Amino acid sequence: MGGTRPYLITLAATTPSPFGPQRHGRPFETSDKEETPDSEGVPSTRIDLDGLADRIVPFPVESARYGNLRAAKDGVLWLRHPLHGVLGTTRATPDEADPSTELERYDLAQQRLEHLAADADHFEVSGDGKRVLLWTDGKLKVVPSDRRASADEDSDSNITVDLGRIRQTVDPAAEWRQMYDETGRLMRDNFWRPDLGGVDWDGVLDRYRPVLDRLATHDDLVDLLWEVHGELGTSHAYVIPRGGHGHGPRQGLLGADISRHEDGGWRIDRILPSETSDPGARSPLAAPGVAVRPGDAILAVAGHPVDPVTGPGPLLIGTAGRTVELTVSPAAGGDPRHVVVVPLADEEPLRYHAWVADRRAHVHESSGGRLGYLHVPDMQAPGWAQIHRDLRVEVAREGLIVDVRENRGGHTSQLVVEILARRIVGWDMPRGRSAFSYPRHAPRGPVVAVANEFSGSDGDIVNAAIKALGIGPVVGTRTWGGVIGIDSRYRLVDGTLVTQPKYAMWLEGPGWAMENHGVDPDVEVVQRPQDWARGADPQLDEAVRLALEALEAAPAKTPPALPPL
């Protein structure tokens, strides 16, 4: 992410900037009086609106990510967040924690920056501006606002609040009633149509309210709120309780297909290849020094023999992210080998990249190398990164297949469409290197999109935009049909997330009809269960056929020859 700076505005036109030159060279000074005596009354504040925008000045600090700007005694406090990408790939290792956020103070009197605390999650300043209530490393502390707290936690400048003494009594039934009413108010005030699509919202809430008296668990409440939201017949109306996966030991996975063979041994059928550009897609069995091959048998895990019935899975429980020794019998014969691996907690990145590589190889082979292939898994940061892993190479071919099947949505469809809509008007031709299209990374020939019923949200929208702009045909099945977006802004008192469909989408062509319908393909091709079973992809095959047919009618653009002497 890019950086910003905190800024200051002088309200009165005659107030000088604390960072600028001062009359007679005197520095900015604060009043010696800490508060206004009662006899002087309330201090007046003068605001000169004329030229106000010109009096915005930046603090003299380097660009970074700043937040939670607060005024304190003789200075200003803020949180300085580390600069790092949303994918987390800037960390030294995938398991390493993100860099910590720091609490900083700019001393207006001394005109200097001070570091008050590391690993600061949140803070609030006391009413007199002298102290800070700081949440750091899972603890609540009271520290001074004008200097770094003492390292001695028993000192008066570093007080830890004992949260263990807090006792709270909750009446679940009363809390659920309040959450029910709050959910109704949030939807009423944020739904994309003020008239809630003609639904009698108060009537809906009254009709379901008697069910509150029969709720026994929080899960019952979540189910009820889903039903209430469902009365609006609109996508993205979610109810998601706080929580998630536990943080205990996870099942270890080896990034491979393993099966029991006729001889009773558990052998490796396939090792998923690593994708070196994705830290989450490393293959344990393909790591340097392991040298395991398909056909090898796993005899033992951490010295424990593999059960011929259950296989190595039970022995890998709790090993994710930990070092484990495998005893392997080579398929080619010879003595068993002992190798050390670090099993994964999740194979999805590995299997996803392997799936993409298989689809790309199929497109290259079936088109004789003339067509490129891109898959866009979502319209978020991971999908944007995935496009750019292969964009430069794949758009250099004569045509392009853009696969948005299983697209999970997001907010970057405009960026994706902008790339696909580029049209070549020139060439950059350096000596000794391949020519570059102008604009860069523009398709050189026909573009064909592939979609299915799991292309949703922004995955719906990208297909509609491809059709509206005439970029190319869409092949497959009708998309999911949910295009009214959300911002996930509101949580209920216990942390349950409730969303309100707020950002409606209209596009030339379908108009408002995408919601609850989706985008119809130009060429419908259904992927049947039989196709999945035999590893066939008729949707992709049809896209290749259409692209090659378009190339016959309109050849791809190519760089010109050098001009004659």
Q: Is pLDDT of 87 > 90?
A: no
Question: Taking residues 70-99, what's their average pLDDT?
Answer: 81
Q: Concatenate the DSSP letters of all residues of 221-290 into one string.
A: HHHHHHHHHHTT--TT--EE-S--S--S----B-SEEEEE-TTS-EEEEEEPPP-TT-TT---GGGSTTT
pLDDT value of position 137? 86
Distance between the two ends of the chain, CA-based, in angstroms?
A: 49
pLDDT value of position 83? 79
Question: Taking residues 15-26, what's their average pLDDT?
Answer: 77
pTM of the model: 0.86
CB 306 within 8 A of CB 263: no
Question: Taking residues 133-162, what's their average pLDDT?
Answer: 86
Active-site annotation holds for 457: yes
pLDDT value of position 245? 60
Count of CB atoms within 10 A of residue 509's CB?
12
Q: Is pLDDT of 511 > 70?
A: yes
Distance CA 27, CA 41 (A): 28
CB 254 within 8 A of CB 274: no
Chain segment 291-302, per-residue pLDDT in tens: 999 999 999 999
Q: Is pLDDT of 475 > 90?
A: yes
* Phi, psi values for residue 195, rounded to 5°: -90, 10
DSSP, res 291: -
pLDDT value of position 94? 66
Task: Report residue 173 as tokens.
Answer: 């039934």
**Given the residues 229, 236, 353, 362, the one annotated as active site:** 236
Count of CB atoms within 10 A of residue 439's CB?
13
Count of CB atoms within 10 A of residue 437's CB?
21
Q: Beta 324-329 vs 371-375: how paired, if at all?
A: unpaired
Question: Taking residues 410-423, what's their average pLDDT?
Answer: 96
- Residue 1 confidence class, pLDDT cut points 50, 70, 90: very low
Chain segment 43-60, per-residue pLDDT in tens: 788 999 999 999 999 999
Distance CA 515, CA 521 (A): 15
Is 27 buried (19+), middle (13-18) or exposed (0-12) by CB count in 10 A? exposed
Q: Concatenate the DSSP letters of all residues of 417-451 into one string.
A: HHHHT----EEE--TTS--EEESTT--SS-EEEEE
Domains observed in the chain: 7-163 (no CATH), 172-240 (3.30.750.44), 256-346 (2.30.42.10), 367-483+518-553 (3.90.226.10)
* Phi, psi values for residue 200, rounded to 5°: -75, 90
Count of CB atoms within 10 A of residue 153's CB?
11
**Given the residues 81, 437, 457, 542, the one annotated as active site:** 457
pLDDT value of position 43? 75
Specify the higher pLDDT residue, 94 or 267. 267
Distance CA 466, CA 457 (A): 15
Chain segment 544-556, per-residue pLDDT in tens: 999 999 999 999 9
| Mean pLDDT score of the chain | 92
**Given the residues 394, 398, 515, 542, the one annotated as active site:** 515
